[in-house]
Amino acid sequence: MTTLSHPYTLAHPDRIASEDDFGFDPNNLTPTEVMEYLDSRIQDVLAEFQGSELWKVVSDPATDARLIQEIMKEVYLEIVMYQPDVIEATIAAIAQMPRTLDVDDFQEMLHLQVEEFTHGEMALRDYLGLGGDEEYARRRRMSPTAFSTAAMWRMLAHMRDPFAYLGGLYPLEGITPIVSEMIKGVLRDKGFQPDSTEFVEYHSTADVEHTRWVKELVIKMAEAYPESKASMCYGINYFLAVYPLPGWNAAFGRAKQHLGLE
């Protein structure tokens, strides 16, 4: 009988993908089918969001503007809390990519993180524009959901599963512009000013191009590195387990609590 060492001595890419997690073997997907699967998971999340209590409250014209303001303030705070650690962890994961990777692709991955580097500060500016306290935001312990979001990315680096980064990146870039566009009209109608909508305005347009680039890279990696297919399929599900809905719902709960609605 063969005795295996502790399973966590195995890097994630060396482990077996389980059909129990998908209903199929992701290794058997074509590159196009990998992309179709990632797209289907984004549609699942958008459908869940549109059916959520949060979206019903936010999209209801009768909702008090104070509640919308408090929700957005807490969403911005959530970003402030997780964003620096996410950048640090994703750069570490990118650095674990195979050394046979096209240098231009490596550079583009890093360039995207350069663009995102100060977006926690962007969210902080919007948080302050809605009356938030800077000292509190900078000194506050991470919420459980922000901690979980950051921990997911750190775990990818810890487990040396860099291709999972691309699977997790896709909904981060793909969902944000869609929801940002959905929310822009609501914020305008509720009297939000430019000093509290910088993050939403920026990501409603910039992430459209980011999404296109990630799509191209997913196909390219699945073709060049067949072992990446399982990692990318797992990566999107690892991320969706902690973001966006858990974080947004936590922000919603805090907002209601602050206003005495819960």
The pLDDT tens digits for 41-52 are 999 999 999 999
Query: What's the confidence (pLDDT) of residue 209?
Result: 84
Mean pLDDT of the chain: 93
Query: What's the confidence (pLDDT) of residue 175?
Result: 93
Q: Tell me how far the alpha carbon of residue 209 is from its chain's centroid.
A: 16
Give the N- to C-terminal CA distance of the chain in Å, as an integer: 57
pLDDT greater than 90 at residue 201: yes
Q: How far apart are CA 126 and CA 78, in angstroms?
A: 12
What's the pLDDT band for 10 if we cut at 50, 70, 90?
low
Range of weakest confidence among 66-75, 155-164, 207-216: 207-216
- SS3 state at 29: coil
Protein fold of 48-55+62-258: Heme Oxygenase; Chain A (1.20.910)
Q: How far apart are CA 137 and CA 122, in angstroms?
A: 13
Summarised one tens digit per residue, pLDDT across range 107-126 is 999 999 999 999 999 999 99
Neighbours of 140 (CB within 10 A): 13
Query: What's the confidence (pLDDT) of residue 9?
Result: 54
Q: Collect all residues with Cβ–Cβ distance below 8 Å to 25 and sequence separation of at least 6.
A: 17, 19
Question: How buried is residue 10: exposed, middle or buried, by Cβ count under 10 Å (0-12/13-18/19+)?
Answer: middle
Q: How far apart are CA 148 and CA 253, in angstroms?
A: 17
| Cis amide linkage into residue 244, ω under 30° from 0 | yes
Residue ranges of domains in the chain: 48-55+62-258
pLDDT greater than 90 at residue 6: no
Range of weakest confidence among 86-100, 152-166, 200-214: 200-214
Summarised one tens digit per residue, pLDDT across range 64-83 is 999 999 999 999 999 999 99
Query: What's the confidence (pLDDT) of residue 1?
Result: 43
Query: What's the confidence (pLDDT) of residue 238?
Result: 98
What's the pLDDT band for 262 if we cut at 50, 70, 90?
confident
Query: What's the confidence (pLDDT) of residue 2?
Result: 45
What's the whole-number mean pLDDT along residues 11-22? Answer: 87
pTM of the model: 0.93
Cα–Cα distances (Å) from 147 to 81, 129, 134, 142, in that order, read 8, 24, 19, 6
